[in-house]
Structure 1
Amino acid sequence: MGLAVLLLLLAAVGGGPQVGTDSEPPDRATLTFVDETGTELGTVDATIAAGFFERYTGLSETDRLGPDAGMVFVYPEAGERTFVMRNMSFPIDMIFVGADGEITAVHHAAPEDDREFSGQARWVIEVNRGYTDAHEIDVGDSVRGLPR
């Protein structure tokens, strides 16, 4: 069965990506990064990627992000996650977040980077490259506002 046929079948039964229309924007979450003392380090307005196809596509069809924008990939449970820079046109930071909301890994990636980026996570947040450095976000910090 071709991929196009499979996508049409999944969409027909409600298993396809949940893409917003002009009257219905995609789901979003406001994520706040905090350090171990509870001090806020930064806030991101993130598009939620919770379905298989949303997570597979990610930001690959996006030309750029606003300065405080991103995408949060949501998984039903924590596990080892691996990301690649498939069809990306701009550099990003990848923030891996465990089931308790604590950051477990931060990776910096360029569009031409062909490495795999892995970490333990229930959520993975992608933001513009340099966001984590500018806001001093690192492993051990936490994220509030994560979608379930």
Structure 2
Amino acid sequence: MKRRWSQLLFFAVLVLVFGLVVGGPLSDVSRYGETGVNSTDSVTVTFVGSDGVELGQITGPIADTWTERRTGLSDTESLDPNEGMVFVYEDEGTRAFVMRNMSFPLDIIFVGEDGQITAIYHAAADADRHFSAQARWVIEVNQGYTDTHNVSVGDEVQGLPR
């Protein structure tokens, strides 16, 4: 009888923990909805050339949790011309991105701890490859944005969230 009670208690605790993590207050999905993107937090960042001239600005949501970063823009149909998403990490490291479930192409901009662009990739929708570089932040914008605004590796990004 004692063993049965301990088994029932173990099962109850397991169900409670599972409920908190999957659908409760510990779940990113419960905080941010099904897409995982917190659309209430947005940021405007400015691209500045090596000569100090402003090259352009984008505004968009911040992805700073694991769920938000994993989902990214994959449930988005399109972006406005000066819109994007800023992925935020705690520190600089090697970041790898894929075009999972994307319906439109992107420029993927990797930004180091010092705010300088370390790499730019032009990624086709549903590209079957990883895009990686050293970064503390990664910015996704419509493909062609970096060419149109002359944004290149070594340029600075200002206004990045910490």
Q: Same fold (TM over 0.5)?
A: yes
* Alpha-carbon distance between aligned partners in 1 of 2:19 and 2:79, rounded to the nearest angstrom: 27
- In the other structure, the counterpart of 1:9 is 21
Gaps of 5+ in 1: none
- Larger strand proportion, structure 1 or 2? 1
1:112 aligns with one of 126, 139, 153: 126
1:16 positional shift: 1.1
Going by fraction, where is helix more abundant, 1 or 2? 2
RMSD: 2.0
Count the aligned residue pairs.
141
After TM superposition, which residue ranges in structure 1, 4 or more long, deviate above 3 angstroms?
5-8
Is residue 19–residue 26 contact of structure 1 (8 Å, CA) maintained in 2? no
The answer to whether the Cα contact below 8 Å between 1:7 and 1:16 also exists between their aligned partners in 2 is no
- Offset of 1:9 from its aligned partner? 1.6
- TM-score, structure 1 as length reference: 0.88
Letter paired with 2:24:
A
Residue ranges of structure 2 left out of the alignment (5+ in a row) = 1-16
1:46: Cα distance to partner? 1.8
Pairing 1:125–2:139 present: yes
Q: Cα distance, 1:13 vs. partner?
A: 3.4
* Larger RCO: 1 or 2 (CA < 8 Å, sep 6+): 1
Distance 1:53 1:8, change over 3 A: farther
Q: In 1, distance between residues paired with 2:106 and 2:19?
A: 28
**Could you tell me the percent identity over the aligned residues?**
56
